A = this chain, B = another copy of it.
């Protein structure tokens, strides 16, 4: 058991490391040379230009203005200043709603914390059980927790009552948030300018027809069944091979640039390379000639393949993007069933063009269900087998474990300071390492499952990651942490015993989770703002690959909100907060700090750094809500389990009502709000159609939609009709009106005051 002192040590270390990160960030971001790493968003928007031209050589790279170093935290208020509507214009609804999750954390937990400290802490502190038991070692933290209440005590009424209040408060907050988000989404969709996906429906599983090609079949089907509304359609090509060629060419191009740059800087020696794998073996040749020749060969191959794909009827997959004359027609087609066989002619609202995941458009229904089954089983094994190494490492990471395995370390470890350090940090780090490789596996699994848009891939991965965190981090830490052997017993244990087993361990693990919050929640967030990896990558690219200003733009890696991993991690903090609110209120302030700090950091990031890959209009909110409900139910069940071991039988029936109420609340909210995130209401569609007919009666919609849904590999190439693509790109997602541009520039100069632009 870690004592209060361990916590203080650990807190100090983590605060220190967070402070170091923040300081480093404060210094690095003020250097003009790093400007593109810390403010890429503004460059991408075209509002900020490189500071190279107007300065002396030194100040091009280093900020010499010492004044600006003094207030090293001044990015924080700057980040908080931009009002929400402008933030939506600037960064899109997805990002804004994402940071609202942190805000929601504050809204839930600040009042809960105040109440818990006012009521539960005094009740627990005066419980006086732990002092009576002589042979038990306990820390002061435990005296603040529910463990300090004697079994069968009437004091548990306070916990039950509080758990009701916490639940209803959470209901209130998340209901309001769901409502606000739904409203924001509808506002956002209504204020959007014309976009191809508003008129388009993705049709999958076009059945084969012996007499007609896919494109004819699609045209005939929709001409017959949507005669007044069908406009045009685009078939989908299987361009995976072509995409590979394009990617390969791009990589060769990079090498060519690298060698050319090298040659320019040092014209005396011509760069050479080897022809074999990765340039490691084979005959040595002149690098520039070699790569130029290779790229020429690839270009030819690419052209041939492009030709083949466009002309080969077999390269057309049985899917199409069907466009309609009106938003109303598209909304109708997306929401209705087309034929009596519900596994063919599947229609759904088309994702926006940059959100399409092209590889998955052609999976037949039966294969899809098989894939889902396999992924579900795979996920189960992934979650299950990940459990063992974590448990092993954690058992090592205890003082006793280390002494057992490495007896020679005993004298070192027994030193008070190091002991605290080991106990405070190691378990958290052990967990952290395991979590790094995971997101990639999960996104691959989601791709196998066959989802057709990047946003849905992200959402599905988040579901998996959340499950993983629940089982491995939450349950895994609680149960194996107390005893490695419990794992095996646990697997053979019955389902309602689990809340009890976990519930009993909950108060004991408070210190572990406090440490975890500090490592994962505080330091990691501070590291996020420092952007070490993009910083290094940018400077490497800048040195070796960049020739023109455009290259430099491409070398920026603004990144984006990684919904698939970040959101489940936030949910984990919600879960911790909800679980410990009635058990060990001391944990709550740590969570509040996490939410407040993260909110500031991510607000700064979405303003200055992240560039979203797609815009789904906050389509993920129902998932967020559902996971909050899951967290609430887990918290309630664990409290129930804990209570039932405390000889407080008469109180447990009261607690049973909570999960039922919570499920009802979920059903209620789902019915009330969810369809705002799934369907596009006909009334709104009609309003916009009518408006558009009035304002733009001569619009050539067919022309506008013609090439909207074309595979990106065709877009990059030398295809004809590039003007259409330009037109589409002239209609960006977020309308950059003059007004919002102005305010953006204002904030841009605010947040980087002194950065020297």
The contact string, 1 if C-beta is below 8 Å from chain B, for chain A 659-689, is 0100010011001111110011111101000
A225 at the interface (CB under 8 A from B): yes
A493 at the interface (CB under 8 A from B): yes
Q: For chain A residues 451-507, which have a beta carbon within 8 Å of chain B?
A: 493-498
Q: Do A225 and B336 touch across chains, with their CB atoms under 8 A apart?
A: no
The contact string, 1 if C-beta is below 8 Å from chain B, for chain A 363-388, is 00110010011001100000000000
Contact status of A369 and B339, CB under 8 A, knowing A494-B495, A494-B497, A686-B224: no
Contact status of A186 and B340, CB under 8 A, knowing A228-B228, A671-B365: yes
A647 to chain B, nearest CB (A): 14
Residues in chain B near residue A373, CB distance under 8 A: 660, 664
A342 at the interface (CB under 8 A from B): yes
Q: How far is B668's CA from A343's CA once the two chains are assembled, in angstroms?
A: 10
The residue among A337, A498, A671 with the most chain B CB atoms within 10 A of its own CB is A337
Q: How far is B676's CA from A557's CA once the two chains are assembled, in angstroms?
A: 48
A382 to chain B, nearest CB (A): 15
Residues in chain B near residue A398, CB distance under 8 A: none
Least CB separation from A683: chain B residue? B339
Residues in chain B near residue A372, CB distance under 8 A: 664, 667
The 8 Å CB contact of A673, one of B331, B337, B342, B682, is: B342
- The complex is assembled from copies of this chain, and their number is 2
Q: Do A672 and B343 touch across chains, with their CB atoms under 8 A apart?
A: yes
Residues in chain B near residue A339, CB distance under 8 A: 681-684
Residues in chain B near residue A443, CB distance under 8 A: none
A332 at the interface (CB under 8 A from B): yes
Q: How far is B431's CA from A331's CA once the two chains are assembled, in angstroms?
A: 53
Q: Do A682 and B365 touch across chains, with their CB atoms under 8 A apart?
A: no
Contact status of A340 and B496, CB under 8 A, knowing A228-B228, A664-B373: no
Residues in chain B near residue A660, CB distance under 8 A: 373, 376-377
User: How many residues belonging to A are interface residues under a CB distance threshold of 8 Å?
Assistant: 46
Residues in chain B near residue A186, CB distance under 8 A: 340
Q: How far is B377's CA from A131's CA once the two chains are assembled, in angstroms?
A: 43
Q: Do A675 and B342 touch across chains, with their CB atoms under 8 A apart?
A: yes
Residues in chain B near residue A493, CB distance under 8 A: 494, 496
Q: How far is B500's CA from A493's CA once the two chains are assembled, in angstroms?
A: 12
Contact status of A369 and B667, CB under 8 A, knowing A377-B660, A494-B494, A672-B342: yes
Interface set of A (CB-CB < 8 Å, partner B): 186, 224-226, 228, 331-332, 335-340, 342-343, 345, 365-366, 369, 372-373, 376-377, 493-498, 660, 664, 667-668, 671-676, 679-684, 686
Starting from the known contacts A336-B679, A343-B672, A376-B660, 15 additional A-B residue pairs (CB-CB under 8 Å) come to A335-B336, A337-B681, A337-B682, A339-B682, A340-B676, A340-B684, A342-B675, A369-B664, A369-B671, A373-B664, A376-B664, A377-B660, A494-B495, A494-B496, A495-B496
CB-based closest 4 A-B pairs: A494-B494, A495-B495, A494-B496, A342-B675
Ordered by A's residue number, 19 sampled pairs between the chains whose C-beta atoms are within 8 Å are A186-B340, A224-B683, A336-B681, A336-B682, A337-B675, A337-B679, A337-B680, A337-B681, A338-B683, A339-B681, A339-B684, A342-B671, A365-B671, A369-B667, A369-B668, A377-B660, A493-B496, A494-B497, A495-B496
